[in-house]
């Protein structure tokens, strides 16, 4: 489904008032950034999987891949003092042919360096070498594991995905990933398998740790919950299953002003594969580039202007503000995670 159609559908939701109105009513102001700590880079839409919950609509047939020139521009921006975290996502980031080089360069900057990997790809011969590249550059690896049961995970990520993720976790554990004391960091993102909000983050983390260790002998550091965003393939799933209106009404009903104050776009800038700037990866997939007169291409990046920019919002933003809040770092309500 193209972005215009997605925006039309999101805008026509009948179960709630517009997010803009809701936010401005609760916070008495427009949503605006306060800083840029996180540089999130989407290095391409190509992926070895085609997960049902994917907001990127990624898959093996996608051809969009970030060039070395754009990655070089990202590296220059990452050097700025205000940026403390470089967060790499996709698609499957490993399918960008420049990723290895980029990580070696970014690893020298002494910043928090994150790669969001589906892990399944690390079992393929052509990509297995990334385990050493990650360890060498102290990359934090984050992977999506919707369920600690194989059927729940396989339903979202494809047949056999659970077993392969566990296999890859074992390889990472052997490289000192996921152990508590001064280890390399391996985190899990949990998202609900159905059309409902995630459960309590801390309780889920404890349950995942227990089940994954006792049943599979693997360990990880932290678990973060993320709400499924009504964007991309997940929006199509909601529409096809007849759950769209109910899901949106549920998100709207669970609107939390505290979560709304802490949405990740207030401290993040997101870069698309072609160098376009967005407020977050979700806006990126809806084609909503930074606006309100801001420089919107990486070659024109200006941190002074962008750090206080007004955020481009829409009804999909209810996904970040429901319940205990949702972001690429999990719950956003302080104390809830
Ligand atoms: S959710 Fe991640 S692993 Fe799955 S298709 Fe999308 S980008 Fe690929
Ligand atoms: S969807 Fe993006 S722009 Fe909207 S609240 Fe979430 S992070 Fe901010």
**Contact (CB, 8 A) for 279 and 311:** yes
Residue 336 domain-assigned (yes or no): no
Q: Which two tokens stand for residue 154?
A: 């396989």
Residue 152 domain-assigned (yes or no): yes
Residue 257 domain-assigned (yes or no): yes
Q: Which ligand is nearest to the CA of 40?
A: 2
- What is the DSSP secondary-structure string of 195-251? SS----HHHHHHHHHHHHHHHH----S-EEE-PPPSSHHHHHHHHHTT-HHHHHHHH
Q: Which two tokens stand for residue 112?
A: 């928090």
Q: In terms of Cα–Cα distance, which of 317, 320, 217, 329 is closest to 17?
A: 317
Residue 249 domain-assigned (yes or no): yes
Residue 85 domain-assigned (yes or no): yes
231 lines ligand 1 (CB under 6 A): no
Give 142's DSSP letter.
Answer: E
Residue 50 domain-assigned (yes or no): yes
Q: In this structure, what CATH number is given to the domain that contains residue 152?
A: 3.20.20
Residues with a CB atom less than 6 Å from ligand 2: 263-265, 279-280, 282-283, 311, 313, 316-317, 320
pTM tops 0.85: yes
Output the CA 37–ligand 2 centroid distance in Å.
16
Residue 49 domain-assigned (yes or no): yes
End-to-end CA distance of the chain: 34
Q: DSSP 3-state assignment of 296?
A: coil
Output the CA 326–ligand 2 centroid distance in Å.
10
Residues 6 or more apart in contact with residue 6 via CB below 8 angstroms: 231, 232, 235, 286
58 lines ligand 1 (CB under 6 A): yes
pLDDT at 337: 57
**Contact (CB, 8 A) for 183 and 192:** no
Residue having the nearest C-alpha atom to atom 1 of ligand 1: 54
Give the integer Cα–Cα distance in Å for 188 and 158: 18
pLDDT tens-digit series, residues 154-204: 998 999 999 999 999 999 999 999 998 778 999 999 998 888 888 889 999
Domain with 226 in it? 3-321
pLDDT tens-digit series, residues 151-162: 999 998 999 999
pLDDT tens-digit series, residues 82-129: 999 999 999 999 999 999 999 999 999 999 999 999 999 999 999 999
Please name the residue that has the structure tokens 């039309």.
8
Q: Which two tokens stand for residue 37?
A: 């700590």
Residue 335 domain-assigned (yes or no): no
Output the CA 165–ligand 1 centroid distance in Å.
13
Total domains, the chain:
1
Residue having the nearest C-alpha atom to atom 7 of ligand 1: 91
């Amino acid at each position: 489904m193209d972005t215009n159609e997605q925006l039309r559908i999101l805008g026509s939701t009948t179960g709630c008032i517009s997010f803009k109105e809701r936010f401005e009513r609760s916070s008495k102001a427009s949503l605006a950034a306060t800083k840029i700590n996180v540089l999130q880079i989407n290095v391409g839409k190509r992926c070895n999987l085609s997960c049902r919950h994917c907001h990127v609509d990624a898959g093996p047939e996608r051809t969009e891949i970030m060039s070395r020139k754009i990655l070089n521009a990202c590296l220059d921006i990452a050097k700025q003092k205000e940026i403390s975290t470089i967060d790499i996502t996709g698609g499957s980031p490993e399918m960008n042919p420049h990723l290895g080089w980029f990580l070696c360069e970014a690893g020298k900057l002494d910043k928090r360096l994150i790669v969001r990997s589906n892990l399944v790809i690390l079992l393929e011969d052509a990509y297995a070498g990334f385990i050493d590249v990650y360890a060498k550059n102290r990359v934090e690896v984050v992977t999506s594991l919707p369920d600690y049961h194989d059927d729940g995970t396989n339903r979202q990520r494809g047949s056999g995905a659970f077993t392969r993720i566990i296999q890859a976790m074992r390889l990472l554990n052997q490289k000192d990933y996921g152990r508590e004391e001064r280890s390399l960091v391996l985190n899990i993102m949990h998202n609900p398998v159905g059309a409902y909000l995630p459960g309590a983050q801390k309780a889920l983390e404890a349950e995942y740790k227990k089940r994954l260790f006792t049943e599979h002998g693997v360990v990880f550091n932290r678990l973060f919950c993320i709400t499924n965003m009504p964007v991309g393939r997940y929006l199509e799933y909601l529409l096809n299953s007849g759950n769209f209106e109910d899901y949106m009404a549920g998100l709207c009903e669970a609107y939390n002003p505290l979560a709304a104050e802490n949405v990740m776009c207030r401290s993040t800038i997101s870069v698309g594969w072609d160098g376009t700037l967005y407020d977050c990866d979700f806006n990126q997939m809806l084609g909503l580039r930074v606006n309100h007169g801001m420089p919107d291409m990486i070659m024109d990046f200006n941190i002074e202007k962008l750090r206080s920019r007004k955020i481009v919002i829409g009804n999909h933003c209810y996904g970040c503000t429901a319940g205990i809040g949702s972001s690429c770092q999990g719950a956003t309500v302080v104390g809830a995670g």
